[in-house]
Amino acid sequence: MFLTGGAGTGKSHLIKAVYYEATRILARILPNPDDVSVLLTAPTGVAAFNINANTIHSTFSIAIDAQLPYQPLGEEKINTLRSKLSSLQILIIDEISMVDKKLLGYVHGRLRQIKQTGDQLPFGGVAVIGVGDFYQLPPVKGKALYVNSEGVDLWNDYFSIAELTEVVRQQDSEFAETLNVIRKRQKSDDLDAHVVTMLQNCETGEEGKGIHISTNQKVDECNIRKLHSLSSDVICINAQDLYRDPKTKKLVK
């Protein structure tokens, strides 16, 4: 299932509710109640941190530079995963818009290995809930999931949609609708005059403490100003980058 909705519709709250209730219910029927039956994951470290989860890559031992066709894990590594996730019933992937087709294919392959399914059941028979909003960030590289592809299409062929429509974060319905207009706006679309007016009325002229959304250069300038305002005694430390040479296995500067 694909669970979607705009900002403030309660996606993160629903994730936590599903995780809690499903874990509680499934614990009654598992041979070992402490086995992992429901798993929370996300494609990036920041997204995973927000829901107290792990990244998809670390959870399923998928290399950042993994390539197609699918490369199965060796027996030792897959047995380690199997010992942790053999009872897995539900996989929840937050910020699904940042997952590309290759990564979803690897999740499918890993779950089939873990579950040791001989048939072609998607994701080894594990129920997958993708949560997110395709109006938000796309994959850094690779094809977005909604793009049609030839052959088996894990996303378009198997996922149904459930959309949350009621904004619960904003009590002002007119302001909530304005935010939704901005969410769906194309670059070529002009904003209505009343939308522009509402946004301008939100300006106070004061220096806020909120997150700045701008170019990297302006964000860096803002961070430096804030740093200097906190302390006049600023010390610069030059970092050294080290990497391990794949041939000699030695650290190189």
φ/ψ region of 199 (left if φ > 0, alpha if ψ in -120 to 50, else beta) reads: alpha
The pair of structure tokens assigned to 93 is 């992937």
The amino acid at residue 194 is: H
pLDDT 10s digits, 66-104: 988 999 999 999 999 999 999 999 999 999 999 999 999
As for how many domains the chain has, the answer is 1
The pairing of beta strand 2-5 with beta strand 161-164: parallel
Q: What is the DSSP letter of 40?
A: E
For residue 100, report the phi and psi dihedrals to the nearest 5 degrees: -100, 175
Give domain status of residue 238, yes or no: no
Domain that holds residue 31: 2-164
What's the whole-number mean pLDDT along residues 24-38?
91
Evaluate if residue 1 carries a pLDDT over 80.
yes
In this prediction, what percent of the chain has a pLDDT beyond 70? 98
Task: Let me know: does 35 contact 193? Beta carbons within 8 Å.
Answer: no
pLDDT 10s digits, 118-165: 778 899 999 999 999 999 889 988 899 999 888 889 999 999 999 998
Give domain status of residue 149, yes or no: yes
Evaluate if residue 249 carries a pLDDT over 90.
no
Position 54 scores a pLDDT of: 94
Average pLDDT, the chain: 89
Tabulate helix, strand, coil % of the chain (nearest 5): 40, 10, 50
For residue 123, report the phi and psi dihedrals to the nearest 5 degrees: 60, 30
Give domain status of residue 190, yes or no: no
Give domain status of residue 183, yes or no: no
The pair of structure tokens assigned to 161 is 């949609």
Give domain status of residue 14, yes or no: yes
CATH number at residue 8: 3.40.50
Give domain status of residue 217, yes or no: no
Give the three-state DSSP class for 210.
coil
Q: What is the DSSP letter of 206?
A: S
Give domain status of residue 13, yes or no: yes
What's the whole-number mean pLDDT along residues 41-64?
92
- Residue 127 forms beta bridges with which residues? 90
> Element (H or E) spanning 128, and its range?
strand 127-131
pLDDT band at 20 (very low <50, low <70, confident <90, very high): very high
Give domain status of residue 16, yes or no: yes
